[in-house]
Structure 1
Amino acid sequence: MTMAAKQRFVVFAIFLFQAVALTDVEEVEALRNFYRSLNCPTQLNNWKLEGGDPCDELWTGVSCHQSSVIDIKLQGLSLTGNLQGDQLVRLQHLKHLDLSSNHFHGEIPNSLPTNLTDLNLAANYFSQTIPHTVTSMKHLRHLNLSQNLLSGPLPDVFGGFDNLIMMDLSHNNFSGDLPVSFRTLMNLTRLHLQSNEFTGSVIFLADLHLHELNIEDNHFSGVIPESFQNINSLWIGGNQFRIGVNYPPWKFPTDVMPNEQNISSPPTTESSAIEKYPSHESGYNRKKRPGSGGIVIMVVGAVMTVIGAAVFIAVRTHRSTKQTLDSIGGSLSSLQSLPISASQGSLVAEYDRPDSSSSDSPPLISSWQLPPAPTMTIKMSNRRSFSKKCKIPICAKLYAVADLQLATSNFSPNNLLGEGTLGSVYRADFPDGQVLAVKNIKTVALSITEEEQFMEVIRTVSHLRHPNIVALVGYSVGNGNHLLLYEYIRKVTLDDALHNVLCMPLTWSLRLRIAIGVSRALNYLHTSCVPSITHSNLKATNILLDEDLNPRVCDCGLAVLKPLASNNVKIKASEIAIADSGYVAPEHVKRGSGNPKADIFSFGVLLLELLTGRRPFDSSRPKGEQSLVEWASSKLHDSESLLEMVDSTIKRIISTRALSSYADIISQCIQPQKEFRPQMAEVVQSLVSLLQKSGQEKAKSGKDKETAQGAEFDPCDRSFRSTNSHFFASPTASYLSI
């Protein structure tokens, strides 16, 4: 072979290799759109909005075969947002999709890749039910939708799943009877349905070739199929199966088993299969049944008992309610009645609110007004139902006050972390070594309705899960106590890091990453929560920096409690509000009565604070410079003035282009008219794009100005983390300071 021929061969081989390695263009675009819809999370290393090749560059969680994406495994990355199926459906060769243990909200999308063999969406916050379009996914072998907020009857969509061998729908709020199509799952070997609200018979499971079955903690009734004795691993406790003394526990009455036995319309607690096709016990003990006279006596007695209970509860409720309303100047007409009804041997008490509508998403709070009282259903005859009947459970642990007193040394001043507009926060050290932060909320005497509203706030906040939000993990209420327990983050606020002279200066890149983290937290509150939540108290003292210097936003969802604070706490709050007035949007006279656009204004002020190193309001400065927004607004679009107001510790580090882009973002956020402020999702994308471009500029220059010029240390490397002791909180710094 001649030299020219060899060269042509080498060029052709290189071209062929690149062609094979290049991911399908449509699939690349689908992944980019998916990345964009999640607000470009930093957890997804190597993912890009523009350029790049998922298969060639090893995008986090992405696996390929030749030019096709076949696996996406992003479990446990704290990803947030609504899952957009119209992007993923374009991945026609995708086989495995694992998004488990994240913070996805909303409905499971109607459009998912039809060639999937493994779908795992467990441990998220998906609501509503399973979409009917799942019937197109005929290749599924493993389906895991456990530990979500899915509810309602299961749709009859399981026909044609000939390849399905494992399905887990446990720990949701599914209700009603099992669908007929369950009996077609002949290759299914593992089925988990525990901890739901299923009713009716399990007859449609009788002929399946199961090796493992868990149906615990539901409301299944009727007889237990004889075939269940062949299942190797079986859990059936916590149900209402009817088994008589003389009834063989594994004997199933096949002579009376119809094809549609499991169907009841509407579903009831006791399956229609039991009423139409009773067990053998009925025949064995027929002579022991009471006569008509006995039945009349029993019915009359039961009715009288229920009426007596209703009168007693109504009188007690009336007295208690009247006393409470008299003390606050209310009227009895504002309260709802307490209907009592007997249903199949169970006494049911329901607190209803007018025009109430059920929602499968956590009922989140966004307004200044207190939310309406939640709907409660208490089933007196069933211990399990106290924790099971609430559609949206509180995802936090209930603590005894005595345990918290012990953990905080009886709320000793030595354990005090800070004081804010709702009360004080204490460090709690528990015997097992766990450390938490306890917020002791001081309130006025609350009415019954206000106590219920307080519990609704706890329910809401307990469902907030985001890597940049401090999580509520426990609570304690009763006897006038209102205590919230949060995960403990070290006592270093962004305010300390920016303004305490004992702290090392923050680098420009770290300030930018902090801004992105806070913006993502706000975007989560505004868009992923339904209805949206407004923070209404965003400020540097409400942002903690963890050991890795990631920002953690405090007090999300708590601004709504401010009207309930005691007078002493309100006095303290008014003093704090003066110092925080620089964060407040011009359309709001008092802090806490905000909306998402007010949060965006406060975030713009925070961006200014990060850029200038100056406090939003500083009474020690000349009158024209006390308000940071008023002083800086006119300088944002003048390059010389803009550079002059940059914090001197980072002035030599920021490029002119990056500074101009950052100033544009600030200018949009602090617009006086809220209509002209952007959505937080747009702000997130702009900041992420700015960070990426800054990284590209560093790569082109071949060095990092922040370290090369010796201006400061990078607080993200190990040498800086070893100096964490240099972070000291000021004496007046607050922790969870709302």
Structure 2
Amino acid sequence: MLLCTMAKQRNLGLATAAILLFGVLFFQAFARTDDLQVQALRDLYRALNSPTELKNWKLEGGDPCEELWTGVSCYQSSVTEIKLQGLNLTGNLGDQLVSLQHLKHLDLSSNHFHGEIPNSLPHNLTDLNLACNNFTQSIPASVSSMKHLRHLNLSQNLLSGPLADVFGASDNLIMMDLSHNKFSGDLPASFRALKNLTKLYLQSNEFTGSVIFLADLHLHDLNIEDNHFSGVIPGSFQNINNLWIGGNRFHSGGADYLPWKFPTDVMPNISSPPTTESSAIEKYPSHETGDNRKKRPGSGGIVIMVVGAVLTLFGASVYITFRIRRSQKQTLDSVRGSISSLQSLPISAPQVTTGPLAAQYDSPDSSSSDSPPLISSWQLPPAPTMTLKMSKRRSFSKKCKIPICAKHYTVAELQLATSNFSPGNLLGEGTLGSVYRADFPDGQILAVKNIKTVALSITEEEQFMDVIRTASRLRHPNIVALIGYCVGHGNHLLVYEYIRNVTLDDALHNVLCMPLTWSLRLRIGIGIARALNYLHTSCVPPITHSNLKAANILLDEDLNPRICDCGLAVLRPLASNSVKIKASEMAIEDSGYVAPEHVKRGSGNPKADIYSFGVLLLELLTGRRPFDSSKPKGEQSLVEWSSSKLHDSESLLDMVDPTIKRTISSRALSSYADIISQCIQPEKEFRPQMAEVVQSLVSVLHKSGPEKAKSGKDKATAEGNEVDPFERSFRSTNSRFFASPTASYYSI
């Protein structure tokens, strides 16, 4: 009777579980995503210019949870996660994200988003990662309403100005990274409310004032390097495990300085230094598994799942019962054997390691030789020797490494995209290696630079990774962006965005190319100048190109200049011998760009870049190469030939490219020549800063005004008979330029 009752109860329980499971699956199978949330995602898709990388996304119709929209994860009928990191997306974030009321995790890092961070962010976010983009302005006020926020990463953007006092309700925040921006002013008082914050990264900004609001926080990691903080370092900072404070203006002595010192060299308490976190979204639990997206089972699938679940539960209960009984028996036998073996061990005192390694650590709890024996008349086997650590805090004298804001590719992915680096995909060869066109399965086209190096040591490999870190941070409309990389097993591959037009060298010197107009040349010069000014003044530390030349400047579909290979000149010493031979051949042609103070390229400074830029301005004006061995000896060097002509009006006009001579006003030409003269000064201290050059060139552009036709071909241009280089259909068909010779593409 009892057995029958137990069997009925067990069957009833299984039936109830099956009904509940069936109900949940039935509800999920027929639930649709909330209309407001669908509309918010459509608005985001529209603001991102409908990129092809976002598969299944639609401007009209569709359901993000049912149709597996790229990067979107759902729970029941609500969008809970959007992860679109590293997809090379552009645009802004729209203004309807606030409708995603159930969104917990938003990761849009390592893209090219621009504009302000919208104030209409979802209020229930727990993880927000917008790192490695081009966002401007400051932190939106909506952060103050995100009471559940735990991880915030806005690093590697163009955010600026003082921080608003928006952190008063952010007491759940655990990690915040605002590093590598242009924030200024004092820290807001609401920082005191961040009682659960354990990791704070503020390095490489322009913060000023005191850090007193951080004194009472329970931080494990704190990086405030390279700011303008001042005053006294709080004594509580000595309890922070990982601390970096260099590059500030703290008091280093005096009566008001607190009586404790930082050691300049201590043993690290972890195997490798922590880095600034490139992703604020850590390994949080997800509602989905596998592809992280919700899938809808059919009715047949639901029946199979229910039956499978019942059988699994029954089998699991039998297996667990068997394992428990077996484990109990094995444990009893093991205990008996252990006691028997322990009784035969000799009595010994606990051992303490004494030697060079142990001497480097404090041992406040170390046992002495006269310690009493343990466990009466027999002794446990000694535990493995352990060393105690001296310091719980990392030495702040060590620099923490910035994150890589680029996608990591495998060798197989790049081999597939480049047809195994076939000659048919070769775009060009330069002083560091070859560049190949890469066509990826999703339709994306990129350029892969295969850098040929000698066998690198560990230090040199780290140097190479530092170059990637620096290059991946560069965000400027006139700089070719580094999209990804592949390092390992002897491979050193850099993946750049693909520029479809030709180099400036081809546009100026290839007879198959239509001549560039004066106003277009001037705009190209301004774009290059702005990119150099960004490298010299906005990057910390400043970056020099050290190999500026027309062949390293690409023209995109809109004929905007894009400087390539920024920050790579330091890799030249690591190049293989075969590449160095090619580089030596190129150096003869490029010698006209090199500043007098530098015998070899690649070890320059900002002033050397300015000299090279002055040569480029000459090249744009005259249409002549910086060094032309076919010319008479006195005219081979463009700088030497033109220097004496820059201040003589008649000689100046004679040296102008004949195709643009009739379209330049005398006032604009004189001002342009003055800029060139300043940039190519033999003594570097007399050359101007790049910011001054930008302002001067913009002034020349205003002086030039609209180009006036004077006769013949110019009159036809004025009447509209010649194609406008900025007309959209003309640009998109690439009819202005013919195919670029491969030797001039990415020539570094």
- Shorter-chain TM-score tier: 0.5 to 0.7
Matched, 1:158 2:186: no
Tell me the percent identity: 70
Matched residues in 1 for 2:115 and 2:165: separation?
Answer: 27
Residue 150 of structure 1 contacts residue 172 of structure 1 at CA under 8 Å; is this kept in 2?
Answer: no
Task: Name stretches of at least 5 consecutive residues in structure 2 with no aligned partner.
Answer: 1-110, 117-129, 146-151, 204-210, 218-239, 242-280, 286-341, 361-385
Q: In the alignment, which residue of structure 1 is the partner of 2:690?
A: 680
Determine which of 653, 676, 679 is the counterpart of 1:666.
676
Which digits, 9 at most, give the CA deviation of each residue in 1:102-143, with x for residues without a partner? 6489xx99xx999x999xx99563699996x855999x9xx9
CA contact (8 A) 1:496 1:728 kept: no
SS at match of 1:532: coil
Task: Tell me if 1:582 matches 2:612.
Answer: no
Contact 1:507 1:714 in 2 (8 A): no
Distance 1:158 1:721 in 2: 51
Q: What amino acid sits opposite 1:125 in the alignment?
A: Q
Distance 1:405 1:717, change over 3 A: same
- Distance across 2 between alignment mates of 1:100 and 1:401: 26
Instruction: Give, in whole Å, the separation in 1 of the partners of 2:352 and 2:419.
Output: 52
Instruction: Map 1:104-123; keep pairs closer than 5 Å.
Output: none
Partner of 2:558: 548
CA contact (8 A) 1:397 1:473 kept: yes
What is the CA–CA distance in structure 2 between the aligned matches of 1:302 and 1:419, rounded to whole Å? 62
Distance 1:731 1:394 in 2: 33
Mapped contact 2:455–2:490 kept (Cα < 8 A): yes
TM-aligned CA deviation for residue 725 of structure 1:
3.6
2:428 alignment partner, SS class? strand
Instruction: Judge conservation of contact 2:133–2:157 (CA < 8 Å) in 1.
Output: no
Q: Could you tell me which residue of structure 1 aligns to residue 156 of structure 2?
A: 125
Q: In the alignment, which of 179, 193, 216 is matched to residue 149 of structure 1?
A: 179
Query: Aligned ranges for residues 158-557 of structure 1 at < 5 Å?
Result: 158=190, 173=201, 238=284, 356-358=397-399, 391-557=401-567
1:476–1:693 CA distance, 2 compared to 1 (3 A) = same
Cα drift, residue 646 of structure 1: 0.9
Deviation of 1:695 after TM superposition, in Å, equals 3.2
AA paired with 1:411? F
Which has the greater radius of gyration? 2
Do 2:435 and 2:746's aligned partners in 1 also have CA atoms closer than 8 Å?
yes
RMSD of aligned Cα (Å) = 5.2
CA contact (8 A) 1:155 1:179 kept: no
- Aligned equivalents of 2:706, 2:158: Cα separation in 1: 40
Unaligned runs of at least 5 residues, structure 1: 1-74, 81-98, 183-198, 201-234, 240-292, 311-339, 359-374, 376-390
Q: Does the aligned pair in 2 maintain the 1:490–1:546 contact within 8 Å?
A: yes
Change in Cα spacing, 1:236 to 1:688, as seen in structure 2 (3 Å) is closer
Is residue 597 of structure 2 the alignment partner of residue 571 of structure 1?
no
Residues of 2 paired with 1:237 and 1:732: CA distance? 45
Aligned CA distance change for structure 1 residues 303 and 480 (closer, same or farther; 3 Å)? farther
TM-score in terms of structure 2 length: 0.52
Q: 1:160 to 1:431 in 2, by over 3 A?
A: closer
Counterpart Cα distance in 2 of 1:446 and 1:662: 46
Distance 1:236 1:502, change over 3 A: closer
Amino acid at match of 1:552: R
Aligned partners of 1:710, 1:725: CA distance in 2, in Å?
A: 17
Question: Match of 2:237?
Answer: none
Q: In 2, distance between residues paired with 1:129 and 1:731?
A: 42
Q: Is the 8 A contact 1:542 1:737 kept in 2?
A: yes
For residues 183-224 of structure 1, give each alpha carbon's deviation from its aligned partner in whole angstroms, at most 9, with x where no partner exists: xxxxxxxxxxxxxxxx99xxxxxxxxxxxxxxxxxxxxxxxx
Contact 2:478 2:563 in 1 (8 A): yes
- The amino acid of 1:631's aligned partner reads W
Shift of 1:429: 1.1
The separation in 1 between residues aligned to 2:414 and 2:387, in whole angstroms, is 39
| Structure 2 letter corresponding to 1:721 | R
Q: Supply the distance in 1 between the matched residues of 2:695 and 2:282 (Cα, whole angstroms).
A: 49
Deviation at 1:536, TM superposition (A): 0.5
Q: Deviations over 1:341-380 (max 9, x none)?
A: 8779x9x9x9x9xx9454xxxxxxxxxxxxxxxx6xxxxx
State the number of aligned residues: 455
Corresponding residue for residue 561 of structure 1? 571
Instruction: Give how far 1:527 is off.
Output: 0.6
The one-letter amino acid of 1:149's match is: S
Q: How far 1:693 sits from its partner (Å)?
A: 3.0
1:644: Cα distance to partner? 1.1
1:582 touches 1:628 (CA, 8 Å); kept in 2?
Answer: yes
Alignment of 1:17-56 (within 5 A): none
Normalising by structure 1, report the TM-score.
Answer: 0.53
- How far apart, CA to CA, are the structure 1 residues paired with 2:617 and 2:724? 20
Offset of residue 733 of structure 1? 3.0
Deviation at 1:301, TM superposition (A): 11
AA partner of residue 492 (structure 2): H
Partner of 1:595: 605
Name the CA distance, whole Å, in 1 between partners of 2:476 and 2:668.
28
C-alpha distance 525-342 of structure 1, shift in aligned 2 (>3 A): farther
Offset, 1:734: 2.5
- Deviation of the 1:544 alpha carbon: 0.6
CA positional deviation for 1:729: 4.2
Q: What is the Cα deviation at residue 606 of structure 1?
A: 0.4
Aligned counterparts of 2:721 and 2:639: Cα–Cα separation in 1: 27
